[in-house]
């Protein structure tokens, strides 16, 4: 069986009209098969590229000379982007020269399919194939946000054994153990129900997922194993409405220490992009404001800007009013955030290579960090512009999603380097979302 979001077939790339073409400002993967096709092939027509190699500027002639990264078999390589962050294959009109000269078949799988992704999971009784759409594309957001609710369709398409075996070898191959994968996918289904419940704010739903996953990890440690029945019983018997009320009572969003934490997080995630002058028009004004609106710096010392505002006797009064205005304006986009959360949970929480409940938790925590950075960028945008429009919300979403679109290995490394324990305590989750 094949599963895909109800809006999957509506997606169409807007190409030259896209406000943030996906051919710049991030790493573009090239799969081993495409890298092989590029080997020794002349650059497309009209391209003249020079690169510094061992201190000398050298004219590049072949497509594979524009690849970086490991030469290990089976490992994806990356396109070496221009110093301005653009893909070197883009022409002045923003069109892809590979397509113009050699046709679509010469594109890497990422370029052929983005923002579409195909995942093949090994589940009990065979394989489950899913199509997903990544949220870092403005055209996808336009389609997603036209939906009333998030829905997955089942399409009657069976996977042949050779197809399944081929998928099993790919970078997103079906390597998981069937029993475990059934449990992960059931948890994801239950999380999608929480995300889609209009009685829970999207932020609250994310925290409820964190609490549920913490319980399931605890149950597994106590019983030695987790079964599908245990997961079903847990979700059937848990009173999420009461938990929701408790979680909302404990909400600290907008409190000064939470705002400082969010500002630090925003600065931390943007530092590399600012250094490399990527997303400059978006990041610079917000980064400046994030310093202005921090109460404490990373060492817990009150910032100069806050001290000055306080000395004028207007820090807290201004603060409360500003934040209340922001909350009320952002509330108009609650449906958009709910659909976004559902799309993220569906497309990112479980991958074919997910192995443990801890992997799920790390992914959920990463989504919480994304959510924290996104909320902060929305708040700072509101402060900057005095309003939040559909376009400004959409821009915040696709840029933050791209900036935080790390691979699973990089996410784990970030979490291990940034936190004492990769599994967060509740209070940190509560502070960040
Ligand atoms: S980000 Fe989306 S709409 Fe824009 S160029 Fe890429 S696929 Fe097309």
228 CA distance to ligand 1 middle (Å) = 39
Rounded to a whole number of angstroms, the CA Rg of the chain reads: 23
Alpha carbon of 14 to ligand 1 centroid (Å): 6
Pocket probe mutation, ligand 1, options 112, 137, 395, max atoms within 8 Å of Cβ: 137
Residue 71: the pLDDT is 79
The minimum-distance atom of ligand 1 relative to the CA of 398 is 1
User: Ligand 1 centroid to 290 CA: how many Å?
Assistant: 29
Predicted TM-score (pTM) of this structure: 0.85
Q: How many CB atoms lie within 10 A of CB 30?
A: 25
pLDDT digits (tens, 9 = 90+) for 382-420: 999 999 999 999 999 999 999 998 878 888 888 999 889
| Of the candidates 84, 97, 428, the residue with the CA atom closest to the CA atom of residue 264 | 428
User: Which residue ranges in the chain fall short of pLDDT 70?
Assistant: 158-178, 254-257, 295-302, 305, 309-310, 313-319
pLDDT digits (tens, 9 = 90+) for 159-215: 666 566 555 544 444 445 668 999 999 999 999 999 999 999 999 999 999 999 999
Q: Which atom of ligand 1 is nearest to the CA of 13?
A: 8
Whole-number Å distance between alpha carbons of 250 and 244: 10
Integer CA distances (angstroms), 252 to 48, 262, 369, in order: 54, 12, 15
Q: Beta-carbon neighbour count of residue 260 at 10 Å?
A: 21
Going by C-alpha positions, the residue among 164, 144, 70 that lies closest to residue 345 is 144
Q: What tokens does 149 get?
A: 């609710």
Ligand 1 interacting residues, C-beta cut-off 6 A: 13-15, 18, 21-22, 114-115, 137-139
Measured in Å, residue 22 CA sits from the centre of ligand 1 at 5
Minimum CA distance residue for ligand 1 atom 2:
137
From the CA of 18, give the closest atom in ligand 1: 4
- Residue 70, both tokens: 């490991």
β 126-133/2-5 pair status: parallel
How far out from the chain centre does Cα 124 lie?
28
């Amino acid at each position: 069986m094949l599963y895909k979001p109800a809006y999957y077939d509506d997606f169409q790339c807007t190409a030259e009209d896209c406000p943030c073409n996906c051919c710049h400002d991030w790493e573009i993967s090239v799969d081993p098969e495409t890298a092989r096709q590029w080997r020794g092939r002349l650059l497309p027509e009209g391209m003249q590229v020079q690169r510094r190699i061992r201190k000398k500027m050298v004219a590049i002639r072949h497509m594979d000379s524009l690849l970086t990264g490991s030469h290990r078999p089976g490992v994806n390589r990356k396109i070496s982007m221009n110093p301005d962050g653009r893909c070197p294959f883009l022409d002045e009109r923003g069109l892809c020269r590979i397509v113009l000269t050699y046709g679509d078949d010469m594109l890497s799988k990422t370029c052929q399919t983005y923002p579409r992704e195909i995942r093949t999971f090994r589940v009990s009784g065979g394989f489950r194939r899913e199509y997903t759409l990544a949220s870092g594309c403005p055209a996808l957001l336009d389609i997603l946000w036209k939906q009333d609710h998030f829905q997955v369709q089942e399409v009657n398409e069976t996977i042949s054994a050779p197809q399944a075996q081929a998928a099993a070898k790919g970078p997103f191959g079906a390597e998981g153990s069937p029993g475990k994968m059934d449990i992960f996918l059931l948890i994801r289904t239950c999380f999608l129900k929480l995300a889609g419940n209009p009685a829970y704010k999207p932020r609250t739903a994310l925290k409820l997922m964190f609490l549920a996953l913490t319980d399931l990890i605890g149950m597994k440690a106590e019983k030695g194993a987790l079964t599908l029945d245990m997961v079903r019983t847990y979700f059937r018997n848990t009173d999420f409405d009461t938990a929701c009320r408790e979680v909302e009572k404990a909400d600290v969003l907008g409190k000064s220490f939470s705002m400082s934490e969010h500002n630090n997080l925003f600065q931390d995630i943007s530092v590399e992009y600012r250094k490399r002058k990527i997303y400059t028009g978006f990041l610079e004004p917000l980064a400046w404001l994030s310093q202005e609106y921090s109460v404490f710096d990373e060492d817990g010392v009150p910032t100069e800007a806050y001290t000055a505002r306080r000395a004028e006797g207007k820090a807290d009064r201004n603060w409360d009013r500003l934040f209340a205005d922001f909350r009320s304006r952002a509330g108009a986009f609650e449906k958009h955030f709910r659909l976004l959360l559902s799309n993220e949970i569906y497309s990112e929480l479980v991958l074919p290579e997910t192995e443990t409940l801890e992997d799920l938790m790390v992914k959920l925590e990463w989504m919480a960090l994304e959510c924290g950075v996104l909320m902060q960028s929305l708040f700072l945008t509101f402060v900057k512009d005095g309003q939040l429009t559909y376009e400004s919300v959409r821009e915040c979403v696709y840029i933050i999603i791209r900036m935080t679109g790390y691979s699973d290995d990089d996410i784990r490394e970030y979490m291990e380097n940034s936190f004492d324990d990769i599994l967060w305590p509740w209070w940190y989750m509560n502070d960040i979302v």
